[in-house]
């Protein structure tokens, strides 16, 4: 019996209009009513999912959770209480930021409660609008002002898959720190502490709730979902998922994110 459903948001639970379909909402509410946990497991900040939680009936609920920043934090919804964190040292974030500036990428720097963006453009604003409520633009080409801020993740917007792979190789070669490097949404390369990924955080939350790995379902589509797909008892790839995710999944849905793929999984394995 599955007791916990961990689900990615963008391109998995959310459709291309950045909405949760009524069918997905209904299935999730039914699963929760039967006693299952539904846990958004996202690369984004937990603060950006509050409207989604409202829609799902999970907003400010006790014993209800979000995994955010690719496993960088586990948060209880009631009071947005941060239970665990895996931060990045400032000097590591600074070196990554300098690399992004050198290549003139749009850079996102995440603290636990704020998103800072350098070199944002109209296309990036269009993509993140409806996903991220607010951010602070960095005017300077350095982040020295954030030296005492708790930082959890940094990402670059790079449209080219080949270029993302090249940057990954450069970082692994030149930065002597153990990083979790993932790709997401066909547009980002993301950098976390090696202690932070969606799979490690999911298993940690499961232990907190006395739920075993084989009682967990994970649903995702992109590279940063791979760890949770592999860690869960049942890893489900939505139909629009990358081939890497499909190759490692236990099941692949017939439907994509625009056609209530999450409801398909819940109806088959929970309801």
Give CA 122 to chain center in angstroms. 23
Token pair 């946990």: residue: 37
Q: At what angle do helices 22-33 and 261-269 cross, to 10 degrees?
A: 30
pLDDT of residue 32: 98
Whole-model pTM?
0.95
Domains of the chain: 4-85+196-269 (3.40.50.1000), 90-193 (3.30.1240.10)
The pLDDT assigned to 133 comes to 82
State which H helix or E strand residue 50 sits in. Answer: helix 50-56
User: For 6, which DSSP code?
Assistant: E
pLDDT tens-place values along the chain, 271 residues long: 999 999 999 999 999 999 999 999 999 999 999 999 999 999 999 999 999 999 999 999 999 999 999 999 999 999 999 999 999 999 999 999 999 999 999 999 999 999 999 999 999 999 999 999 899 999 999 999 999 999 999 999 999 999 999 999 999 999 999 999 999 999 999 999 999 999 999 999 999 999 999 999 999 999 999 999 999 999 999 999 999 999 999 999 999 999 999 999 999 999 9
């Amino acid at each position: 019996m599955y007791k916990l459903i961990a689900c990615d948001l963008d391109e998995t639970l959310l459709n291309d209009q950045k909405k949760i379909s009524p069918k997905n909402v209904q299935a999730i509410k039914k699963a929760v009513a039967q006693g299952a946990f539904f846990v958004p497991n996202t690369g984004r900040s937990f603060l950006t999912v509050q409207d989604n939680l409202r829609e799902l009936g999970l907003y400010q609920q006790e014993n209800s959770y979000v995994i955010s920043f690719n496993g960088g934090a586990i948060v209880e919804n009631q009071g947005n209480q941060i239970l665990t964190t895996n931060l990045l040292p400032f000097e590591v974030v600074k070196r990554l930021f300098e690399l992004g500036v050198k290549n003139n990428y749009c850079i996102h720097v995440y603290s636990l409660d704020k998103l800072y963006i350098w070199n944002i453009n109209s296309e990036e604003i269009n993509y993140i609008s409806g996903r991220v409520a607010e951010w602070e633009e960095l005017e300077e080409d350095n982040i020295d002002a954030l030296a005492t801020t708790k930082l959890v993740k940094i990402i670059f917007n790079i449209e080219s898959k080949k270029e993302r792979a090249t940057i990954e190789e450069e970082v692994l070669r030149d930065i002597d720190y153990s990083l979790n490097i993932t790709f997401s949404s066909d547009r980002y390369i993301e950098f976390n502490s090696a202690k932070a990924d969606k799979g490690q955080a999911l298993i940690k939350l499961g232990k907190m709730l006395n739920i075993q790995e084989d009682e967990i379902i994970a649903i995702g589509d992109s590279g940063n979902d791979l760890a949770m797909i592999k860690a869960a008892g049942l890893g489900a790839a939505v139909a629009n998922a990358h081939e890497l995710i499909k190759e490692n999944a236990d099941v692949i849905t017939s439907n994509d994110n625009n056609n209530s793929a999450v409801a398909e999984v819940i109806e088959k394995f929970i309801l």
